[in-house]
Amino acid sequence: MVTAAPLIAGIEIGGTKCICILARSPEEIVEQVRLDTRDPATTLGEVDAVFDRWHRDHGFASIGIGSFGPLELNRASPDFGTIVSTPKPGWSDTPIASRFEHFGVPIALDTDVVGAARAEQRWGAARGMTDLAYITVGTGVGVGALVGDRPILGRGNAEMGHMRVSRLPGDDWPGVCRFHGDCVEGLACGGAIAARHGPGPIAADWPGWAPVENALAMLVHNLVVTLQPQQILIGGGVASSQEGLIDAVRRRAVESLAGYYTARDLPDDFVIAPGLGTQAGPLGAIALGLCALQR
């Protein structure tokens, strides 16, 4: 196929893995490299080597970076493009965007989940929508929301995975968030599930899934009443591997919303898996890189 789409270098920085991707679109991926997320010097050094090679062998028109946060995204700040105060050991105050400036191409940086939302909007299950939320359930719980086609950005990026939600009756398990204990991330991230379950494989019918489903359903309820999204996508390592989780979350959210007006016109499938599957995150970096060219 002859194509005019520009070649973009992207990176999705996750708490467990970093994915470098060189692509024009979901159908035109030149190369994709998965790296384990270790300390910043090691991991970003490995990323540098991949990007240097791509720059030499292919060139690229822009760079898109989707990262776990919190991130400093205000361009007026001297710390623009830095990961700030993250619970992830060793990664607080790590400059990200400035590391790639020497390539001399436009750079877009946003959260991994805003990137994934942009990819779903461009190529996936939310095509053409201006109001949507992408939830990741993996190392952490993150939400990337577009409202009126713009990501939420106040003093900093929104961290909606840290909302507090009502618990299942009788459930007082403390949760694992270092800051809040039983916020949504503290109850539903991969580490929370592992801590609550203990060692060994987790059965699909483990009773501990119910509080995970509940926490995510309450998050969905809160997103519906605050953002009025047309579509909510749930991705990430936990959601993509636990069959039935997304359906259970949607059922619980519908029950909780109880026909309230924000929920009235929502289609039955308003909470689904990403159309791009596990590629939503990596392609999010490409979508951000394309946004950088349009700025």
| Closer Cβ to ligand ADP, 202 or 248, answer by number | 202
State the binding partner of 5 from ligand ADP, Zn ion, none, CB within 5 to 8 A by kind: none
Binding of residue 177 to Zn ion (CB under 5 A): yes
Is the Cβ–Cβ distance between 221 and 182 less than 8 Å?
A: no
Binding of residue 237 to ligand ADP (CB under 6 A): yes
Residue 61 burial by Cβ neighbours in a 10 Å radius (0-12, 13-18, 19+): middle
| Closer Cβ to ligand ADP, 140 or 224, answer by number | 140
Side chain identity at 156, as an amino acid letter? G
Q: How far is CA 256 from the centre of its chain?
A: 24
Cα 244 to Cα 196, 201, 203, 240, 253, distances in angstroms: 19, 17, 12, 10, 14
What length does the chain have?
A: 295
State the binding partner of 151 from ligand ADP, Zn ion, none, CB within 5 to 8 A by kind: none
| Closer Cβ to Zn ion, 19 or 184, answer by number | 184
Helix 190-197 × helix 209-227 angle, to 10°? 150
Binding of residue 16 to ligand ADP (CB under 6 A): yes
Out of 242, 266, 285, 288, name the contact with ligand ADP by CB under 6 A: 242
State the binding partner of 98 from ligand ADP, Zn ion, none, CB within 5 to 8 A by kind: none
Write out the two tokens for 64. Answer: 């898109």
Out of 88, 118, 162, 252, name the contact with Zn ion by CB under 5 A: 162
In the complex, what is the shortest distance from the CB of residue 217 to ligand ADP, in angstroms, rounded to a whole number? 17
Binding of residue 183 to Zn ion (CB under 5 A): yes
Task: Using the rule CB under 5 A, give the single segment among 102-110, 178-186, 193-201, 245-253 that binds Zn ion.
Answer: 178-186
Residue 33 burial by Cβ neighbours in a 10 Å radius (0-12, 13-18, 19+): middle
Given 3-state DSSP classes, what are the helix, strand and coil percentages for the chain, each rounded to the nearest 5? 40, 25, 40
Helix 209-227 × helix 245-257 angle, to 10°? 50
β 231-235/94-95 pair status: unpaired
Binding of residue 119 to ligand ADP (CB under 6 A): no
Out of 43, 139, 157, 279, name the contact with ligand ADP by CB under 6 A: 139
Neighbours of 9 (CB within 10 A): 29
Binding of residue 138 to ligand ADP (CB under 6 A): yes
Site string for Zn ion, 111-150 (x = CB under 5 A): ----------------------------------------
Site residues (CB under 6 A) for ligand ADP, limited to 188-227:
190-191, 193-194, 202
Bridge partners (DSSP) of residue 64 are 10, 108
State the binding partner of 162 from ligand ADP, Zn ion, none, CB within 5 to 8 A by kind: Zn ion
The residues binding ligand ADP (CB under 6 A) are: 14-17, 136, 138-139, 190-191, 193-194, 202, 236-238, 241-242
The residues binding Zn ion (CB under 5 A) are: 162, 177, 179-180, 183, 185
